[in-house]
Amino acid sequence: MSGSTIPLCPTCKRAVALPAQNPCFPFCSERCRAIDLGRWLGEGFRIPVESTDEDEDGTPLAPHPTDS
């Protein structure tokens, strides 16, 4: 990123003041920050995960009763 690039708020796309002048950085306001949090909590944003046929310890999962 070059020194002249102005960051944009990820919610409303307005120009954002740098962290020294803006406690809500990278958002432009507390409102945009709350909107983003609401999207995460409402599962509007999700982190993709791969489906696996193994348990956390690596053992194969038992077939589901409806699987044949």
pLDDT at position 39 over 80: yes
Contact 18, 3 (CB under 8 A): no
Cβ of 56: how many Cβ atoms within 10 Å?
Answer: 6
CA–CA dist 6, 18 (Å, integer): 9
Structure tokens at 45: 């944003």
With 0.75 as the threshold, say if the pTM is over it. no
Q: In which band, very low, low, confident or very high, does the pLDDT at 9 lie, cut at 50, 70 and 90?
A: very high
Find the mean pLDDT for residues 4-29.
93
Contact 12, 28 (CB under 8 A): yes
Q: Looking at residue 2, what is its pLDDT? A: 52
**Higher per-residue confidence, 36 vs 55:** 36
Q: How far is CA 43 from the centre of its chain?
A: 9
